Copies of this chain bind each other. A is one copy, B any other.
Amino acid sequence: MEWKIDDRFPIWSQLTEQLEAYISSGGFKPGEKLPSVRDFASEAGVNPNTMQRALSELEGRGLIVTNRTAGRTVTEDAERIKSVRQGILRRRIEDFLDSIEELGIKDNELESLLRKAISERSGGTVV
């Protein structure tokens, strides 16, 4: 997978977010074995300890399972995964609308801006 790391924020937290999004959107299947901490870390260009912290966090959220000496796997619980994805979506939409609200924008103005931005993106990608 691709990693985007911004030095200004805690790296472990960014790793957590990206892994959560990736797994919950099907990048790894339920029950699939994950790369080892070391491999993951070197792939992302971070220290293994840092990656481990990110993975522990995901375990706390019930998204992955640790098998003491046999590596980690994505949870088998497809419902859990789905609900995590819904949660992320909902949270991001809420945060976005909150952040927009501060600017005092009318709903129709926002909708037109959004529609424009989305079509530009699709355009950029598709054409």
* A contacts, CB < 8 Å to B: 7-8, 11, 18, 21-22, 24-26, 66-68, 85, 88-89, 92-94, 96-97, 99-105, 107, 110-111, 113-115, 117-118, 121-122
Report copies per complex.
4
Contacts of A25 in B (CB 8 A): 102-104
Complex Cα distance, B3 from A97, in Å, reads: 17
**A7-B67, A21-B102, A103-B21 given as contacts; is B113 within 8 A of A93 (CB)?**
yes
Interface of A is mostly: helix
| CB atoms of A103 and B88 under 8 A apart | yes
Between A8, A66, A100, A115, the greatest number of chain B beta carbons within 10 A of the residue's beta carbon is seen for A100
